[in-house]
């Protein structure tokens, strides 16, 4: 009897251990991706890295536009509050921690408003944040200050930046790091920490070492709700030529695009063959895509995602009036009912007003 009793206990323990191992494997497999995302934003020893001191952050964050607080308040009322409420209602099913925003320019605030549940934002565009200014803000030139203030004023009214303004074709080249910081302030967030970033060969976004050529900048923020969030901005060429040259960036974007993606005011670039790698990456990986008419072509979008349409689409901004992709989208909108008009302005000015499509992977 005693032997049988011990055998029974031993067998039960074996069964219990077996199920514990199974449950551990399940948790590990389902959590690995989230862990991999979070591990890149872990606290690091800043003594040996390109960490930006508190004094330098204060110098960089100095706001020189006289009416900035009025502009920020107006933007919050006209855009942020309405976008956040729209997201609460229409994106409530989306489950995410990381939000990916390619072709972002310095527009921090829109992605934070559309995807407010994220604790990690990754923005990518081809403008470089001035790394020397970040390291030595006391040397920062102020010759573009007035133009930057005008850009911020225009953004507060229309909600997007002109590419020619960002590239210095309509005036002095703006300090991109200042535009990023102005947009963080527009979101109601405070900068707690900053450091320079690199993308390693595995596609991990990690703090840059002093000897590295940086690929971007990381902001640790406290948002207006008091939550601590991470925002990475990466400077990258998203064309096929750029991604063929930098496979490490492509690996990073494949991972960062696996949850939710925002495409807005993207100059219709993803609708061209020479951006097909980035297009294929988003189609393959994203669980949710929220975009205006300048994002993915309607054919791969509708094939891959269940779509809900918002607003009207008749034709694009005049610069892309002859776009075949825009014509396909206008036809799609004519055959599929829109759920409702958008309660806020978004994207380029065009006949029919603002529109968005929300896609959930089929």
**150 versus 3: which is more confidently predicted?**
150
Span 93-105, average pLDDT: 97
pLDDT value at position 40?
Answer: 64
pLDDT value at position 8?
Answer: 44
pLDDT value at position 49?
Answer: 57
**119 versus 2: which is more confidently predicted?**
119
Does 33 have pLDDT greater than 50?
Answer: no
φ, ψ dihedrals at 64, nearest 5°: -100, -5
Does 181 have pLDDT greater than 50?
Answer: yes
**% the chain with pLDDT above 70:** 86
Does 178 have pLDDT greater than 70?
Answer: yes
Structure tokens belonging to residue 214: 């940086």
**% the chain with pLDDT above 90:** 78
| Segment 187-234, tens digit of pLDDT | 999 999 999 999 999 999 999 998 999 999 999 999 999 999 999 999
| Segment 281-291, tens digit of pLDDT | 999 999 999 99
| Segment 310-330, tens digit of pLDDT | 999 998 998 898 999 999 999
CB-count burial class (<10 Å; 0-12, 13-18, 19+) for 56:
middle
pLDDT value at position 140?
Answer: 87
Does 336 have pLDDT greater than 80?
Answer: yes
Domain ranges in the chain are: 50-288
| Confidence tier at 344 by pLDDT (50, 70, 90) | very high
**362 versus 139: which is more confidently predicted?**
362
d(CA 195, CA 344): 34
Does 131 have pLDDT greater than 60?
Answer: yes
pLDDT value at position 42?
Answer: 53
Does 334 have pLDDT greater than 90?
Answer: yes
Does 14 have pLDDT greater than 50?
Answer: no
What is the chain's mean pLDDT, rounded? 88
Does 137 have pLDDT greater than 70?
Answer: yes
Structure tokens belonging to residue 148: 């930057």
pLDDT value at position 141?
Answer: 86
Does 19 have pLDDT greater than 70?
Answer: no
Does 59 have pLDDT greater than 50?
Answer: yes
Does 88 have pLDDT greater than 90?
Answer: yes
d(CA 153, CA 73): 12
């Amino acid at each position: 009897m005693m032997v049988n009793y011990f055998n029974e206990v031993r067998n039960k323990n074996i069964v219990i251990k077996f199920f514990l191992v199974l449950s551990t494997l399940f948790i590990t497999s389902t959590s690995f991706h989230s862990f991999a995302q979070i591990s890149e934003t872990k606290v690091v020893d800043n003594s040996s890295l390109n960490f930006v001191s508190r004094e330098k952050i204060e110098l960089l964050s100095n706001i020189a536009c006289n009416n900035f607080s009025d502009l920020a308040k107006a933007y919050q009322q006209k855009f942020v509050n309405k976008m956040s409420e729209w997201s609460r209602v229409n994106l409530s099913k989306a489950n995410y921690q990381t939000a990916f925003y390619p072709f972002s320019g310095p527009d921090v605030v829109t992605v934070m408003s559309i995807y407010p549940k994220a604790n990690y934002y990754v923005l990518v565009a081809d403008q470089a944040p001035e790394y020397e200014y970040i390291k030595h803000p006391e040397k920062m030139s102020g010759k573009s200050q007035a133009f930057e203030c005008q850009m911020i004023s225009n953004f507060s009214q229309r909600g997007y930046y002109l590419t020619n303004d960002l590239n210095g074709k309509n005036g002095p080249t703006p300090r991109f790091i200042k535009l990023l910081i102005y947009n963080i302030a527009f979101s109601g967030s405070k900068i707690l920490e900053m450091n320079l970033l690199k993308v390693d060969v595995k596609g991990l976004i990690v703090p840059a070492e002093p000897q590295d050529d940086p690929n971007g900048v990381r902001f640790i923020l406290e948002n207006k709700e008091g939550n601590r969030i991470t925002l990475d901005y990466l400077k990258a060429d998203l064309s096929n030529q750029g991604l063929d040259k930098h496979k490490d960036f492509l690996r990073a974007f494949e991972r960062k695009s696996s949850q939710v993606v925002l495409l807005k005011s993207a100059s219709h670039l993803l609708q061209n063959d020479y951006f097909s790698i980035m297009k294929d990456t988003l189609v393959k990986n994203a669980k949710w895509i929220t975009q205006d008419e300048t994002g993915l072509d309607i054919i791969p979008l509708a094939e891959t995602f269940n779509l809900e349409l918002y607003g009207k689409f008749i034709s694009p901004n005049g610069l892309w009036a002859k776009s075949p992709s825009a014509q396909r989208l206008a036809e799609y909108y004519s055959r599929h009912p829109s759920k409702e008009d958008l309660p806020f302005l978004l994207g380029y000015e065009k006949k029919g007003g603002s529109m968005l499509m929300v896609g959930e992977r089929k």
